[in-house]
Amino acid sequence: MHETYVYIMASLSRTLYIGMTGDLNVRVNEHKEKRYQQSFTAKYNVNQLVYFEVFDDPHEAARRERQLKGWRRDRKIALIKSMNPQWRDLSQDLE
């Protein structure tokens, strides 16, 4: 089984998007390139990877994605700050 990622992207104004993917590099690049012009991330310029988690089980990743999407905004921000207090674009660190 391959890894599955749950991730949070943000815009400069801190609009948040939570997603799940099997290939974080490819998916983040799709967001950055606005591959899907009508998507939420393209419309609101959500193009910085600010948080991610890695799962061996895609079902666990899907559960986590649903959990995070159900959280209030302040809790999501606290989670991001726990891993990335400067809100750096973590995509620069991906291989």
Pairing status of strand 48-55 against strand 4-10: antiparallel
CA pair distance 2, 39, nearest whole angstrom: 26
pLDDT of residue 63: 99
- Tell me which residue has tokens 């974080």: 24
pLDDT per residue over 18-43, tens digit each? 999 999 999 999 988 888 888 888 88
CA pair distance 10, 41, nearest whole angstrom: 9
pLDDT per residue over 37-87, tens digit each? 888 888 888 999 999 999 999 999 999 999 999 999 999 999 999 999 999
pLDDT of residue 95: 66
Q: What is the pTM of this model?
A: 0.93
Domains of the chain: 4-93 (3.40.1440.10)
pLDDT of residue 1: 60
